[in-house]
Chain A
């Protein structure tokens, strides 16, 4: 509707102004300030000196040794690499677990479907911290697993399996945290999948394995990519799982950033790592958008 003499653009402006102000000041503003802080000199009390200095970024790769010389230090690169690998692993595991689940749910009748999807979304509504904490009770020393193993005599009373504070523990935590975000988009593209295509394929002599790899997988690819992004992005910057299940030993990007602000009080360095994380995410989202655009053009 485009009514004579009614000024749409003025109303649009009034309607959007609150968003622009709030997001501009309290979302984009902080990101700009953070970028600014990342190129300032650090102040050992937390905070910065207003002096241009790239040591925040330099610190990611180099250390200064006793003789004031720069020395390559791979420690932070290793953290970035481990964050990346764990995020990739969590995404793949979530996909392997989630795909059949999404498929199974999508083939149920509506009432069952609704309930199952609701059950998948509930964890999303509950506190992530608490859900991760539950794994401490399960994996921790004298936790549920060790107790039950001890009970049936696999391990001795004083032994420990040392399940906590490992990459595996973090991985379990990551998968557990974000797997609903994998199931939901795959489910919604399965929903749109026409069962007659499957019937047609099996009429044309497809085996069940063929059905999965030749029909279902290609047709639900948008959902799979969407789900993978939704899992990968928060995993890369995860803080709770590495902090609670990895302890201080297995830092990831997220917990490294938090550590710089909460304890080390090296703001420019923390801000620089945050910028690196942001750059990684932006790159991935950009690539995804490009793939989507090409997909749409082909369709």
Chain B
């Protein structure tokens, strides 16, 4: 037992670099401290957002009576519940053709077309859509927002669906055809069930992107169709109040719980 008293020099592998651990630690601090501060300040009892005076739920209580804010939150949900399924459906069809459709002329073009909203800066998409709706005279309030979100969400829904379709062994579909399935029952009993996790991921991504989207909504949404992020923006612009901290915390919590829940679920299965 004597040799235990001499601390053996820890063997460090050649691919370990000293200091990288600390560096990574600070990186995560940089990433999360602002969020933590925001959350802490949402429980501040002071009327001034930046000065800590004590713990309180008063700003959350105030949210309960804020009808505009609640309407904006509802609008966000309406938009996301229309845009995410539409985007997911289009993305699924496209992925099926691009991955399983063999080689055809417009394949590269279609694959590029899907990712176009990721290439074009969001602000450009936003003003172009604004001009477009004004130019052709479509002014349907929330429906305008839903259309813009559908377009913007397609690439986000597309990526996981395409990835999971590519990871799927095409022989499985061939095997189903061999075992007396026609095209439709092959899709129903083999392709769709195996693709479901990918489609769910795509839907989740599209949903979160839609809920969080701010710039496009800011430009496209008319007066009556404010969504939650746009509402928060106008609150920030009017001056920082602790109420913003509270609603922001709720939104952060919503996203993080959704994503974490999904992550844990997908790791288990």
Binding site for B on A (CB under 8 A): 1-3, 6, 8-9, 11-12, 15-16, 18-20, 22-23, 26-31, 33-34, 37, 47, 97-98, 100-101, 103-105, 107, 114, 116, 118-123, 125-131, 133-138, 140-144, 147, 176, 179-180, 195, 198-199, 202, 208, 211-212, 233-234, 236-240, 244, 253-254, 257-258, 261-262, 267, 270-271, 274, 277-278, 281-282, 285
Closest chain A residue to B27, Cβ basis = A101
Q: How far is the CB of B128 from chain A (nearest CB, A)?
A: 4
Which residues in A have their C-beta under 8 angstroms from that of B136? Answer: 33
Which residues in B have their C-beta under 8 angstroms from that of A100? Answer: 17, 19-20, 23-24
Known: A12-B104, A126-B212. A119 touches B28 (CB 8 A): yes
Q: Is B38 touching A20 in the complex (CB atoms < 8 A)?
A: no
Which residues in A have their C-beta under 8 angstroms from that of B135? Answer: 33, 37
Return the CB mask of B1-29 against A: 1 if under 8 Å, else 0: 00000000000001111011101100110
Closest chain B residue to A230, Cβ basis = B118
Residue B37 at the A interface, CB < 8 A? yes
Q: Is A237 touching B124 in the complex (CB atoms < 8 A)?
A: yes
Known: A27-B151, A261-B127, A274-B127. A101 touches B34 (CB 8 A): no
Pairs A-B, 3 closest by C-beta atoms? A237-B121, A30-B132, A30-B128
Would you call the interface of chain B mostly helix, strand, loop, or mixed? Answer: helix
Would you call the interface of chain A mostly helix, strand, loop, or mixed? Answer: helix
Q: How many A-B residue pairs have CB under 8 A?
A: 257
Which residues in A have their C-beta under 8 angstroms from that of B96? Answer: 15
Residues in B216-269 with C-beta less than 8 Å from chain A: 218-219, 229, 232-233, 236, 240, 244-245, 248, 251-252, 255-256, 258-260, 263, 267
Residue B147 at the A interface, CB < 8 A? yes
Which residues in A have their C-beta under 8 angstroms from that of B166? Answer: none
CA distance A176 to B117 in the complex (A): 22
Q: Is B14 touching A198 in the complex (CB atoms < 8 A)?
A: yes
Q: Is A1 touching B259 in the complex (CB atoms < 8 A)?
A: no
CA distance A122 to B264 in the complex (A): 13
Q: Is A277 touching B24 in the complex (CB atoms < 8 A)?
A: no
Known: A19-B90, A19-B110, A100-B24. A198 touches B15 (CB 8 A): yes
Q: Is A129 touching B38 in the complex (CB atoms < 8 A)?
A: no
Q: Is B212 touching A16 in the complex (CB atoms < 8 A)?
A: no
Residue B142 at the A interface, CB < 8 A? no
Known: A19-B114, A34-B128, A258-B123. A137 touches B252 (CB 8 A): no
Which residues in B have their C-beta under 8 angstroms from that of A130? Answer: 38, 229, 232, 248, 251-252
